[in-house]
Structure 1
Amino acid sequence: MAVFAITYVYVSDPERLAAVRPEHREFLRDLHGQGALHVSGPLPPAPGGEPGGALLVVEADDTTAALRLLDDDPMRRDRLVAERSAREWVPVIGGFAR
């Protein structure tokens, strides 16, 4: 298994994001409980107006499997994720290092 950093960029709709956030976090808690999600958290909007998003660190066999873990995320289901990407990450220092 490999570690992947996944980024979300959210649509600019604070009210809808806030409405779905509790279900989104419950979904992520379940993934964490299964051991697939190591950590996640929001990326606040940038000062220049870049929309907010999220950073999620997951463990999976490959990039496709990493993204598949998040296919049923309520934020994605409700079309609040404008874009997402996954990239393998090789931590060498800290809690995720191998």
Structure 2
Amino acid sequence: MALYAITYKYVDDTEKLGEVRPSHRAYLTGLLENGQNLASGPLTTAGPNTALLIFQADSIEQAAALSDDDPMVANGLVAERHVQEWNIVIGGFSH
């Protein structure tokens, strides 16, 4: 399995983001529990409404598909998304 860094830039709709956030967090918690989401959260210096997710998957296509099922993506609240394989050279996650 490889690691994938996924970045989101959310749409500028605070109300709708707030409505979907609980199901988004529940979805990511489920992925955390099954070992596919290693870490996720907002990027605090990249501007408002941005996030980083670190997924473990068999392929970039699988990582993108996991992201596709995220309620934020499924509800059209992610304006930009980038999925990239991440090769850790120094440090790492224990999993």
| Same amino acid, percent of matched pairs | 52
What is the TM-score with the length of structure 1 in the denominator? 0.86
1:48-77 deviations in Å (ceiling 9; x for gaps): xx5422100011122111111121111111
Q: Secondary structure at the match of 1:70?
A: helix
Distance across 1 between alignment mates of 2:43 and 2:14: 14
Where do residues 15-94 of structure 1 align in structure 2 (5 Å cutoff)? Answer: 15-44=15-44, 46=46, 50-94=47-91
Q: CA deviation at 1:29?
A: 0.1
8 Å CA contact 1:11–1:51 kept in 2: the answer is no
Task: Name structure 2 gaps, 5 residues minimum.
Answer: none
Distance across 2 between alignment mates of 1:66 and 1:94: 22
Task: Name structure 1 gaps, 5 residues minimum.
Answer: none
Distance verdict in 2 for CA 1:75–1:38, change over 3 Å: same
8 Å CA contact 1:8–1:54 kept in 2: the answer is yes
Q: Secondary structure at the match of 2:68?
A: coil
Distance across 2 between alignment mates of 1:34 and 1:88: 20
8 Å CA contact 1:7–1:55 kept in 2: the answer is yes
Write the letter of the residue equivalent to 1:21: R
Count residues in correspondence.
94
Q: CA deviation at 1:90?
A: 1.1
What is the TM-score with the length of structure 2 in the denominator? 0.88
Distance verdict in 2 for CA 1:45–1:35, change over 3 Å: same
